[in-house]
Chains A and B, each alone.
Chain A
């Protein structure tokens, strides 16, 4: 059997199935439902329907407790088990006026959140880095200088931002990461690109205790690209929450 014959065998094996159970209208309706649900979830600000990714350990939000309870594998590198913890509701955290972009919540997690351990990648500022597989000791202080290419790509994809202010990302980053931040509205949008070990994680939403919300994608060339919307004040409104996923998917396609 040659490759052509094998290909014909594959085609033959896939033929003869039952009629499709879905049509165009089903797809369009489902698409609009997903879009509407996500807009509502991001606009509410009280429960965020996202997972908090802490140094490779995925902590499920209250909305996901049912499906994530029981040690489900996270999609992150390292595959740590999932713990179901309700995220702190906006308003429970003390409001801290953050200087500029760096707004680390100091001290322990709030009363509704877990006590974070050294294994969960807490950096010197107390801010936990949402990076799959990142372990304590891997992070370096700061994400380095502004990566101009990422900054330009991000600005191009954002809605018109007159006099866009580009800044370095102040958080800890994995080794080899490139990053840039753009000040937008009520906070900033970060874009971070870094290689990961092993198989990449599934594309997913990520979140942090300071109210930052993002979406990470595993790129065609084997990196993880994260677009993170960070509020200017802890617990404040993170800007353009409904754009983090399309931004990550669009920008990530090129890397």
Chain B
């Protein structure tokens, strides 16, 4: 194990740096996707994802196993999005009518594209904390217990936030969600 001291006087273990690099390579795109669904914008998503990886790099030695790494990054992302939503100059406005997308869509949209856009529009209508629950449950595939642990709340809260979030999505996805049973 080779240890060096960098220009800031911090001891750097080359093996640990390589481990971080490997983790980063394996997870960057997934973390960006999570960040995108949490905030709705790819530029902000990259900012959030980079911030999460910087925090992880700074605490790499303290985080023990692979599951803990993923949980650390998710927690950092979610907290950053929720904290950002509380600041007046960045507070999102929940609107009834979603503005037209900036990029022109093909005139013959397939059902898949339309539904994907409807989901994105629906997520924008959902409050940040409910959105986080939905993303953790359905994009990250976390169960109720792990979601509750990550968010620091009870399992009952996760279930109720899931139900409310899905109700809000129904407004965007319509009949397609009608037969979805509440997540357990």
Contact = CB atoms under 8 A, between A and B. Distances in A.
B152 A221 contact: yes
Contacts of A2: 179-181
A13 B138 CA distance: 11
Contact of A17 (B17, B33, B153): B33
Contact of A13 (B58, B116, B181): B116
Interface string A16-30: 011011101011101
Contact of A32 (B6, B59, B119, B180): B6
Interface stretch (A33-41, A137-145, A147-155): A33-41
Given A18-B42, A31-B54, A1 B176 contact: yes
B36 A24 contact: no
Contacts of B177: 1, 6
B46 A20 contact: yes
A191 to B, nearest CB: 16
A14 B28 CA distance: 13
Interface string A43-77: 00000000000000000000000000001110100
Given A3-B181, A10-B135, A17-B45, 7 more contacts: A3-B180, A9-B119, A10-B139, A13-B37, A32-B10, A249-B59, A250-B59
Contacts of B79: 202-203, 218
A32 to B, nearest CB: 6
Contacts of A72: 87-88
A19 to B, nearest CB: 10
Nearest to B57: A31
B152 A222 contact: yes
B138 A73 contact: no
B75 to A, nearest CB: 8
A228 to B, nearest CB: 19
A1 B179 contact: yes
B106 interface: no
Contacts, number: 118
A22 B47 CA distance: 9
B39 to A, nearest CB: 12
Contact count band on A: 35 or more
Interface in B6-30: 6-10, 17, 20-21, 24-25, 28-29
Interface in B40-63: 42-43, 45-46, 49-50, 53-54, 57-59, 62
Given A9-B119, A72-B88, A249-B62, A27 B53 contact: yes
Contacts of B119: 9-10, 13
Contacts of B28: 20
Contact of A219 (B42, B88, B152): B152
Contacts of B17: 28
Contacts of A222: 152-153
A208 to B, nearest CB: 23
Interface string A224-246: 00000000000000000000001
Given A17-B33, A26-B50, A75-B86, A12 B180 contact: no
Contacts of B153: 222
B32 interface: yes
A100 interface: no
A169 to B, nearest CB: 24
A7 interface: yes
A200 interface: yes
A17 B32 contact: yes
A32 B37 contact: no
A124 interface: no
A250 B59 CA distance: 9
B42 A17 contact: yes
Contact of A28 (B33, B37, B45, B57): B57
